[in-house]
């Protein structure tokens, strides 16, 4: 049996097992509210695993390992931001949120406010953040599955994205929160086992000497010691046309790194699909335990991505990591303009002559997959014995299937979060003004899951050339700008009121999205000498020099929340007393807000 | 909800028992949040602006940047453990006590 058949069998086995789990979870669901919180009776340990399963997305497993494999140390910056962010959730958000809300982020933000404007805002930002995150995962799924099954036809890739979308709709509509939680727990187990296996095998190769692993990685990368220090991907020294350092562009590039750091560390506690996981446990104490288990799992996992990334860099050739270089119809290597590469007077090199190229000529090569998303599966194949061996085929298929499981679990969580918010915040509390029956609410939530799934399928097919890790970091920036200020203010600031909440959410959300539109991600930068690979290569309106908007949009969200609050006369001292007592003690937990 | 029930929340909030709980929580969580954020941004800023220094080798191929990165993991685990210890020793009992009093007063 070859790797492709084996991969297909493992994918189908995972899908079949999870469908059974989801179906059983759906049958054991009794109350309508179970759709949102899965019965709110999971233990801290179970929920900790589910959080880890919800959080460790394709971007972390494939993206971080790939970034380290290609750019060395800089990938590490992602994993640290993603982990430290959990302290914000642990210290400030998880317990008060569990104590004072029921099903959605909107429950807490609107607790002491006028319901309709605040819930509309909360639902809007929940759906926007979740869709960005969803796109990242589905694009990743398309790339991964086509690699493992050897599909190059773009039409087939679209079917895969659609298939993932349909599966997530099925998980959510049949299994609700309970089914989704079980899928995430199974996935977290598989991912930890797979990553541990690869890590042990990599370290074994280097006799458990980390310094040797790093040395081999820097040697094989061709970048020498620079590979082990920050600066190959983020905050680069930007050069002008004459080859001198351009101070303005360099500063912009370094600020972009700070902006990314800010978005990562403040984004997690504003991600709606993470926040609603705290509602699946009965008490604040269990919510705290969930976060502690999650921090343990996620921390160990990210430590292992270091071994995976540097292991891939040390053991797998860069040609394989890049999935080869672009060639023309005659099989000759070409540069990014499509011209055949010439080196020292000789023209026309094939892939077999790669090693004959000089260092300067190598810089002209165009990798087929510059994101390195497949570094981890490639490493697995190498560790199993290499291409063409049974061991290699098995390892590739197993790790590929785990990555696929990872994506399915995350997309289900995202679809659940956005459909919950649509039904509970927008339909029940805004449109029906709190008069909807729980059964009606759940029916709407399921319809919303189908609608959001379909929208995500079409958007993901449209943007499938974008980098997965990038899409995720944008979702983090939007969550940190639009959601976190409102969540923190409402929990800890007595004066905070309706206008403050509405301005904080729309202000942060709009700032993040508008800056994104005018960033070097969408069009060519106005500032000269800035690196860019925009969506629209012929347009020039990127007056904002950073690709991550967080550095500006997050403070802006906080500022708008403050400004809205102090310019409004509304006071809600009595309701704040209720919120504060409930959020710290858990009194009347799970009960609707008194009006 | 009646006026009287609204009064229960405000009276509880004003009680010294609740104020002590609030102080014990905020006095622990807020400074710790500021501390880990400062420590994290120090790390990010050094990664952006002190490239030469963080590239200094410590042992073999392990440099300062690598050590700082691993220390971020260590500090995250330690802070999570410290908070768990503080909560289970200092916060859980008074918070449960107040919860029961409030729920009794509300007639739940």
Q: Is A21 helix (H, G, I), strand (E, B) or coil?
A: helix
If residue A116 lies in a helix (H) or strand (E), which one and from where to where? helix A115-148
Greater model confidence, A262 or A371: A262
Interface test with B, best of A219, A297, A578 (most B CBs within 10 A): A578
CB A422 within 8 A of CB A145: no
Compute the residue count for chain B: 108
Cα–Cα distance between A467 and A445 in angstroms, integer? 30
CB A271 within 8 A of CB A104: no
Q: Is the pLDDT of residue B3 over 70?
A: no
pLDDT reported for residue A84: 97
Contact A581 B54 (CB under 8 A): no
Given this model, what pLDDT does residue A1 score? 62
Which residues of chain B lie closer than 8 angstroms to A86, CB-CB?
A: 76, 80
Q: What is the pTM of this model?
A: 0.92
Pairing of strands B62-63, B57-59: antiparallel
Question: What is the per-residue pLDDT for A85?
Answer: 97
pLDDT, one tens digit per residue, over A262-316 is: 999 999 999 999 999 999 999 999 999 999 999 999 999 999 999 999 999 999 9
- Which residue, among A217, A178, A168, A161, has the nearest Cα to A50 in the 3D structure? A178
Residue A216 pLDDT > 80: yes
Structure tokens at A437: 């029956």
**Among A370, A528, A480, A389, which residue's Cα sits nearest to residue A133?**
A480
Rounded average pLDDT over A385-402: 86
Chain A: closest CA distance from residue B25 (Å): 9
Cα A113 → chain centroid: 31
CA distances to A132, A369, A376 from A461, rounded to whole Å, are 13, 18, 24
Q: Between these two residues, A156 and A296, which has the higher pLDDT value?
A: A296
Rounded to whole angstroms, how far apart are CA atoms A271 and A130?
A: 8
pLDDT digits (tens, 9 = 90+) for A448-493: 999 999 999 999 888 877 767 677 888 899 999 999 999 999 999 9
Contacts of A292 in chain B (CB under 8 A): 80, 84
Mean pLDDT along residues B74-83: 97
Residue A406 distance to chain B (closest CA, Å)? 23
Tell me: pLDDT of B36 over 60.
yes
Q: Say if residue A32 is exposed, middle or buried (CB neighbours under 10 Å; 0-12, 13-18, 19+).
A: middle
CA distance A108 to A489: 11
Residue B96: predicted pLDDT: 94
Q: Which residue has the tokens 């669901």?
A: A29
* For residue A527, pLDDT beyond 90: no
Residues A44 and A289 sit within 8 Å (Cβ to Cβ): yes
Is B53 an 8 Å CB contact of chain A?
A: no
Question: Cβ of A574 and B6 within 8 Å?
Answer: yes
Maximal CA-CA distance, chain A = 82
| Candidate ranges A13-27, A136-150, A326-340, A495-509; pick with highest mean pLDDT | A495-509
Q: What's the mean per-residue pLDDT of chain A?
A: 89
Predicted local distance difference test score (pLDDT) of residue B33: 97
B9 touches A: beta carbon within 8 Å? yes
Q: Where are the alpha helices (DSSP H) in A434-542?
A: 438-462, 468-482, 484-492, 498-517
Contact A95, A336 (CB under 8 A): no
Q: Is A554 on the interface with B (CB under 8 A)?
A: no
Q: Does B86 lie at the interface with A, CB-CB under 8 angstroms?
A: no
pLDDT value, residue A149: 74
CB neighbours of residue A9 within 10 Å = 13
Lowest mean pLDDT among A217-226, A419-428, A521-530, B60-69: A521-530
Q: Is B22 on the interface with A (CB under 8 A)?
A: yes
Which tens digit of pLDDT belongs to each residue from B4-23?
A: 777 899 999 999 999 999 99
Q: How confident is the model at residue A31 (pLDDT cuts 50, 70, 90)?
A: confident
Distance of CA A476 to the CA centre of its chain: 8
Q: Which of B10, B59, B76 lies at the smallest CB-CB distance from A87?
A: B76
Q: Coil, helix or strand for A519? A: coil
Q: Does any CB of chain B come closer than 8 Å to the CB of residue A578? A: yes
d(CA B23, CA A573): 19
What confidence category does residue A177 fall into, taking pLDDT thresholds of 50, 70 and 90? very high
Place of tokens 């319809």: A447
Name the percent of chain A lying above pLDDT 90: 53
**What tokens appear for A130 in the block?**
């979740």
Assign A333 to helix, strand or coil.
strand
Asked whether A534 and A465 are in contact (CB, 8 A), the reply is: no
B3 close contact with A: CB closer than 8 A: no
| A17 to chain B, closest Cα gap in Å | 34
Distance CA A580, CA A323 (A): 55
Q: Closest by alpha carbon to A178, among A42, A272, A15?
A: A42
Q: Are A245 and A239 in contact (CB under 8 A)?
A: yes
In chain A, which residue's Cα lies nearest the Cα of B94?
A: A585
Is A138 in contact with A460 (CB distance < 8 Å)? Answer: yes
**CA neighbours closer than 13 Å in the CB half-sphere of residue A69:** 33
**String of DSSP letters for A410-445:** HHHHHHHHHHHHIIIIIIIIIISTT---HHHHHHHH
Is the Cβ–Cβ distance between A385 and A142 less than 8 Å?
A: no
Selection from A288, A281, A293, A303 nearest residue A89 by Cα? A288
Terminal C-alpha separation, chain A: 64
Residue A594: predicted pLDDT: 53
Cβ atoms of A486 and A517 within 8 Å: the answer is: no
β-sheet bridge partners, residue A333: A327
CA A23/CA A213 separation, integer angstroms:
45
Query: Is some CB atom of chain B closer than 8 A to the CB atom of A215?
Result: yes
Whole-number Å distance between alpha carbons of A469 and A18? 26
Say how far apart CA A369 and CA A103 lie, in whole Å: 40
User: Do the beta carbons of residue A217 and residue A310 sit within 8 Å?
Assistant: yes
CA-to-CA distance for A264 and A547, rounded, in angstroms?
14
Nearest C-alpha of chain A: how many angstroms from B18?
8
Tell me which residue has tokens 């679809």: A415
The reply to whether B90 touches chain A by the CB within 8 Å rule is no
């Amino acid at each position: 049996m070859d790797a492709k058949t084996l991969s297909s069998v493992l994918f189908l086995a995972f899908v079949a097992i999870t469908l059974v789990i989801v179906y059983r979870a759906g049958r054991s669901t009794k109350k309508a509210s179970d759709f949102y919180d899965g019965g709110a009776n999971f233990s801290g340990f179970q929920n900790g695993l589910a959080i880890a399963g919800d959080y460790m997305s394709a971007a972390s497993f494939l993206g971080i390992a790939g970034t380290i494999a290609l750019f060395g140390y800089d990938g590490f910056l992602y994993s640290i931001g993603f982990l430290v962010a959990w302290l914000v959730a642990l210290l400030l958000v998880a317990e008060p949120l569990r104590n004072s809300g029921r099903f959605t982020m909107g429950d807490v933000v609107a607790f002491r406010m006028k319901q309709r404007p605040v819930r509309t805002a909360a639902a809007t930002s929940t759906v926007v953040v979740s869709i960005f995150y969803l796109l990242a995962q589905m694009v990743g799924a398309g790339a991964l599955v086509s690699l493992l099954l050897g599909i190059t036809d773009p039409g087939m890739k679209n079917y895969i994205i659609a298939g993932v979308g349909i599966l997530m709709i099925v998980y959510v509509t049949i299994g609700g929160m309970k089914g989704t939680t079980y899928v995430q727990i199974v996935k977290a187990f598989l991912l930890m086992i797979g990553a541990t296996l690869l890590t042990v095998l990599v370290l074994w190769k280097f006799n458990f000497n980390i310094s040797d692993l790093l040395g081999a990685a820097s040697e094989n990368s061709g970048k020498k010691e620079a590979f082990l220090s920050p600066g190959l991907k983020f905050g680069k020294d930007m050069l002008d046309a004459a080859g001198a350092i351009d101070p303005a562009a360099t500063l912009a590039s370094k600020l972009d790194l700070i902006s990314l750091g800010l978005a990562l560390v403040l984004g997690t506690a504003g991600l709606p699909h993470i926040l609603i996981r705290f509602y699946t446990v009965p008490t604040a104490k269990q919510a705290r335990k969930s976060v502690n288990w999650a921090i343990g799992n996620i921390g160990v996992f990210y430590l292992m991505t270091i071994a995976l990334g540097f292991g891939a860099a040390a053991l797998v050739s860069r040609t394989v990591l890049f999935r080869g270089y672009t060639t023309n119809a005659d099989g000759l290597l070409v540069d990014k303009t499509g011209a055949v590469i010439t080196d020292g007077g000789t023209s026309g090199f094939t892939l077999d002559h790669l090693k004959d190229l000089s260092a300067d000529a190598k810089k002209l090569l165009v990798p087929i997959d510059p994101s390195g998303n497949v570094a981890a599966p490639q490493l697995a194949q190498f560790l199993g014995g290499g291409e063409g061996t049974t061991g290699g085929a098995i390892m590739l298929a197993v790790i590929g299937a785990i990555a696929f499981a990872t994506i399915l679990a995350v997309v289900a969580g995202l679809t659940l979060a956005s459909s919950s918010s649509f039904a509970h915040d927008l339909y029940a509390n805004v449109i029906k003004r709190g008069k909807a029956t729980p059964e009606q609410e759940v029916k709407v939530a399921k319809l919303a899951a189908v609608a959001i799934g379909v929208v995500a399928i079409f958007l993901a097919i449209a943007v499938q050339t974008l980098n997965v890790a990038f899409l995720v970091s944008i979702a983090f920036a939007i969550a940190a700008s639009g959601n976190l200020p409102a969540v923190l203010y409402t929990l800890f600031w007595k004066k905070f009121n309706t206008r403050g909440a509405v301005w904080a959410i729309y202000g942060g959300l709009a700032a993040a999205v508008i800056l994104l539109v005018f960033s070097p991600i969408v069009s060519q930068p106005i500032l000269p000498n800035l690196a860019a690979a925009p969506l629209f290569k012929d347009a020039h309106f990127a007056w904002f020099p950073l690709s991550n908007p967080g550095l500006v949009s997050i403070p802006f969200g906080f500022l708008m929340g403050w400004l809205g609050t102090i310019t409004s006369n509304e006071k809600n001292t009595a309701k704040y007393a209720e919120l504060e007592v409930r959020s710290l003690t858990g009194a009347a937990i799970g009960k609707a807000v008194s009006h | 909800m009646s006026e009287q029930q609204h009064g229960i929340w405000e009276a509880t909030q004003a009680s010294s028992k609740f104020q002590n709980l609030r102080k014990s929580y905020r006095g622990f969580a807020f400074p710790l949040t500021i501390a880990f954020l400062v420590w994290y941004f120090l790390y990010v800023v050094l990664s952006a602006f002190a490239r030469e220094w963080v590239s200094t080798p410590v042992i073999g191929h392990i440099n300062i940047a690598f050590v700082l990165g691993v220390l971020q993991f260590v500090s995250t685990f330690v802070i999570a453990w410290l908070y768990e210890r503080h909560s289970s020793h200092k916060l859980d009992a008074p918070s449960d006590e107040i919860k029961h009093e409030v729920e009794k007063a509300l007639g739940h």
